[in-house]
Amino acid sequence: MHSSHLIAYFFGGAFLTNAIPHFVAGVMGSPFQTPFANPPGKGLSSCNVNVAWGFFNLLAAFFLLVRIGHFNLRHTPAAAAFGVGVLVMGFVCAQAFGPLHGGANPTEKK
């Protein structure tokens, strides 16, 4: 397995993780932050924009996971790269969106 495949699987996990909140918020009819909002990443975008942005992230994850190399969850390095991508993007999203939605940030003083 090439190291470029592992990098693709890492970003595939990141894109898949980013697809979830946007697509779910959009399907629920709720506004949510996107890069297209004003200000980017902090303002709210419509549910339709979120469905589209979530679907774009899902397509990116598909191409990175399925069309590059031979992704197999039973292959430990591939699964680890994917899992680290999911975990890193999860923390990035938690840090970015937590303060906007009442999430606790233990480093902030009240």
Other C-beta atoms lying within 10 Å of the C-beta of residue 35: 9
pLDDT, tens digit, 9 for 90 and up, residues 12-59: 999 999 999 999 999 999 998 888 988 888 889 999 999 999 999 999
Summarize the chain as % helix, strand, coil (round to 5).
60, 5, 35
pLDDT tens, position by position, 76-109: 999 999 999 999 999 998 888 877 777 665 565 5
**pTM (predicted TM-score):** 0.84
Distance CA 3, CA 48 (A): 37
Return d(Cα 44, Cα 69) in angstroms, integer.
Answer: 37
Q: What residue spans define the domains of the chain?
A: 3-97
Local structure of residue 24 (DSSP, 8 states): H
- pLDDT of amino acid 70: 87
Residue 1 has pLDDT above 80, yes or no: no
